[in-house]
A and B are shown apart, each in its own frame.
Chain A
Amino acid sequence: MKKLMMAALALLFCIGAVQAQTLDRILKDKKIRVAVEVDSPPFGVLDSAGEPDGLEIAAVRQLAKDLGVTLEMVQVTAPARIPAVLAGRADVAIASLSMTLDRAKTVAFANPHGALTIVIAAPAGTKIASAADLSGKRIGLTRGTLEEATVPKIAPKDCEIVFFDDISVTIQALVSGQVDGAGMSGFAAKAIADKNPAKQLESKFTVTTAYYAAVVRPGDWDLLHWINTWVFLHKRDGFLAGIYEKYTGLKLPDLPTM
């Protein structure tokens, strides 16, 4: 009987340990693991020294600093952002993840700390002014992104949509002419247009405007609440607007609260 009680106690302790609050664990271990992108300008890129840099990276660095813990960046590609958090490889993903109802079924979103537009980018000579003009065109999209979720819905039936695993490959397809146009964030479109002036790439029209936020595993409410507090305070003190302007050259849109 005593043995049984010991076993039951041990079991209870185990369950308690498994459900230990993530924020506590982060503070205790003095380390937060954040899933980040380094192939998606201006959110995350590798600088000339091979170090991650960008709008989201700046936010991540500040977040770890405010928590007072060391930062471990888990570099992922766009399709791996949510799986990395669900599989426990990272405590939180801060990687330009736009809020969608589908995603919210699997992970928990914090309040948005930025906003972006999804546009169709194409060479200046290509006549695309609205969704209807995508008829008969080949459009490249990146898997696991907001453009993958929104562009097919507005595209006409005879628009051929092809998918790539990585935004840099999608951009390569656009630059090499393998696709007539590509769906991507307005920043990405601006960045590649600036870098490839000869190709005369431009944003043709805005598909949607989206708010991006940090995501955590469902149930990590303590961590989620701390991040919400962090977003609120850094909206007030101008930090978020500052990094947004620094990395995009644009003014931070008004960020509503959930």
Chain B
Amino acid sequence: MHYVFQFGIVYDNLPLLLHGALLTIRLSALAMLFGAVVGVLGAAVSTSSSRWARGIVRAYVEVIRNTPFLVQLFIIYFSLPAIGLRFRADQAALLGMTINLGAYATEIIRGGIESIPAGQIEAGRALGLRRWHIFRFIVLLPALRVVYPALVSQFILLMLGSSVISSISAEDLTAVTNSLQSTTFRSFEFYFAATAIYFVMALGFRLVLDGLGWLLFQRRTAS
């Protein structure tokens, strides 16, 4: 079988591809931020004493973690308009990514919190620290430090998984790639290029997140 690769066409369309990559980066970064917040709140609630609140968070985590991301996106984009909630494609994508990541982050951070020995919390109480301070310094920060690598992996997975948002017409890297390959028919070249860009983005996110982890945790321990 003969196939002549023509990468020139990829260079010609590089600005379009990078424009798509930029949307992927922007949505992923925002979803990581919001998802982490949802995760911390969810984990705090799911380790709290209120049975009701725990049940609600449990249900949220189980429903999201046991259904496909694409279906979640379709519900937000296509079904919510029926009850008057209409989002643009990129808004729906950000909402879906945040809700999805929030569930996974809740579960990861909860694991970290539960790994904190009870004695450590008792020590905090014995020192007369307030509840908020105990949660913040004795429970949350050490817990986040333990689960941070797992959290970073989940963040990267979210960024890669965001390729499905092209299905609801968000113009991310995958959408741009699909459009270009469907008009030029150079599918090999464009999918190779997209693969390379995703790879670089994943490396970039990992570097930034590792750096952030160092700032948040390692530096404090060292001083």
Contacts and interface: CB of A to CB of B under 8 A. Distances in A.
Interface of A: 18, 79, 82-83, 86-88, 102-103, 106-107, 140, 143-144, 148-149, 162-166, 169, 172-173, 176-178
Contacts of A163: 169, 171, 175, 178-179
A102 B166 CA distance: 24
Indicate the size class of the contact surface on chain B.
Answer: 20 to 34
Given A144-B182, A144-B183, A162-B169, 4 more contacts: A79-B178, A143-B178, A148-B183, A172-B78
Interface string B29-41: 0000000000000
Given A88-B1, A176-B81, A176-B82, A83 B181 contact: yes
Contacts of A144: 178, 182-183
B77 A178 contact: yes
A145 to B, nearest CB: 8
Interface string B1-34: 1010000000000000000000000000000000
B185 interface: yes
A173 B169 contact: yes
B89 A162 contact: yes
Interface string B61-85: 0000000000000100111011000
Contact of B185 (A106, A164, A177): A106
Interface of B: 1, 3, 74, 77-79, 81-82, 86, 89, 166-169, 171, 175, 178-179, 181-183, 185, 187
A169 B82 contact: no
Contacts of B78: 172-173, 176, 178
Contacts of A149: 183
A147 to B, nearest CB: 12
B167 A164 contact: yes
B185 A86 contact: yes
B15 to A, nearest CB: 18
B187 A143 contact: no
A102 B185 CA distance: 10
Contacts of B86: 177-178
Contacts of B79: 176
Contacts of B74: 172
Nearest to B1: A88
A17 B77 CA distance: 51
A79 B77 contact: no
A168 B182 CA distance: 17
A86 B166 CA distance: 24
A140 B183 CA distance: 17
A140 B182 CA distance: 16
Nearest to B89: A162
Nearest to B167: A165
Listed from nearest, the 3 A-B pairs whose CB atoms lie closest are A144-B182, A162-B169, A79-B182
